[in-house]
Amino acid sequence: MLSRKLILSSIFFALLWSVNACNEDGQYSESIRNTSDANRAENKPDSVITYEPTNQVGGIVAGKPEGRDPRTLAKIRQKNSLQPIIWGKSIGAIGLNMPEQMISNRLSAKLHSSASSDRYAEGIQVVWQSNTPRTPLLIAASKDYYGKLQLNDAIGDLYVDRDLSSVLTELNGTQNFMRALGRLLEKQSNAYDCRSELSCRISYFNNLIYLDFKLGGITIDQDNKIEQIYLKKNDGIFFPRLKDDIIFGESIAGISLSSNQDGIEKRIGPPQAVENFLINYYDDFNLSIIWKPDHTPFRIAATKGYLGKIVFNRGLLPGRSTFNVGDSLADAIYTGQAAQPFDDFIRTSPLDNDLEMIAIYLGNKLESIEDENTNCLADGTCKITETRTSFLIDFSSGAIALTKDANRQITLVMIVERPNT
């Protein structure tokens, strides 16, 4: 089974080439690039090349084929770069099961090569497996590739540099576009949701959006244009949503401050995005971790969409020990079985600010302090920090963020390494 990290790193590697590689035949490329999209649709090749031969290695000889002068290379390049993309099978008339020598003979000039990958003048990148003879792990179409992935749907055909702005607006966002595309690619009914079926995933890296499906995917740039369309070996690894309890002050999603990054990512998958080279996002962006150089967490945080329950081992409120991220603390504290002890606390509190009263009440409960006159805000064992959208109440065992409105909804639960832990 292929490593999920390897698939993602392969995509990134190919992406870097598509941005940085030089163009060895500028005149031909520029003439194609300046062709309008309407005209480009008419630029079909004389014949569509079969993506896989009957005999994978038949007729292969060492060295380059005869007669590959610049004019011949230009013709090969033009023909290949206009081939349709056949989902799960081929880009530029090369398939995932073709051996390396056959692909090199079929495509035109290489623009860039490394130990594990090649970029060709057609705008095709190939990342190789380590088998012998080598076959592709991933084939990507990027700049200078003009063939289309035909969908026969209102979404329209997909091709490199297509502007998806109108489609994303019509479908109300990238997530819904991914679901619609998943239905088309997998030939499913309108009730099918690739996210819940674990057959697609969205990731964000370097101002690009990656929509990844079992047989390939697309990348979208910050202007909503398609940067790449790629095919890959089906690794079959799409990770389910996390539902582990949040043990306040101890663990989130089964991850504690002593957990190891490699072990955790084998269970929950690699990050879907990394913000400022620091904050790693997982679980559809509902879990974030800052890893230390020794690959243990410095900070673990769950946000509103996290599916697991918050468990307060010390009995935060009478009659209620669990909450969901998104629940209202005000409702829990001011009503039901918790109301009476909190009302008693309010009557003895000199504070008028409900947020401060909640912070002190929670601080006393979390630290098992019976003296109602103890004030964690005054003695420095808890503090309130205002952010753009919430108030963060920081305790010695963890932190909770609450909305600024009267509901005081829990928007975040966090565990962070303290200086002396």
> Does position 265 have pLDDT exceeding 80, yes or no?
yes
Same-domain status, 308 and 331: yes
> Does position 30 have pLDDT exceeding 70, yes or no?
no
For residue 104, the enclosing domain spans 4-232
- Identify the domain boundary among 205, 232, 259: 232
- Cα separation, 251 vs 244, in Å, equals 9
pLDDT 10s digits, 57-113:
444 433 445 557 889 999 999 999 999 999 999 999 899 999 999 999 999 999 999
Same-domain status, 268 and 196: no
Same-domain status, 112 and 196: yes
Greatest Cα pair distance in the chain? 94
Same-domain status, 225 and 260: no
Those residues whose C-beta lies under 8 Å from the C-beta of residue 152, and which sit 6 or more positions away, are none
pLDDT class of 259 with cuts at 50, 70, 90: very high
* Alpha-carbon 389 to chain mean position: 24
Number of folded domains that form the chain: 2
pLDDT 10s digits, 365-374:
777 666 667 7
Q: What is the mean pLDDT of residues 360-384?
A: 79
- Cα separation, 315 vs 129, in Å, equals 54
Bigger pLDDT: 313 vs 405: 405
Q: What is the mean pLDDT of residues 382-386?
A: 92
- Identify the domain boundary among 232, 257, 285: 232
Q: Name the residue among 206, 199, 258 with its Cα closest to residue 228.
A: 206
Same-domain status, 228 and 268: no
Same-domain status, 282 and 400: yes
Bigger pLDDT: 276 vs 37: 276
- Cα separation, 157 vs 221, in Å, equals 18
Q: What's the predicted TM-score (pTM) here?
A: 0.62
pLDDT 10s digits, 393-407:
999 889 999 999 888
Same-domain status, 125 and 40: yes
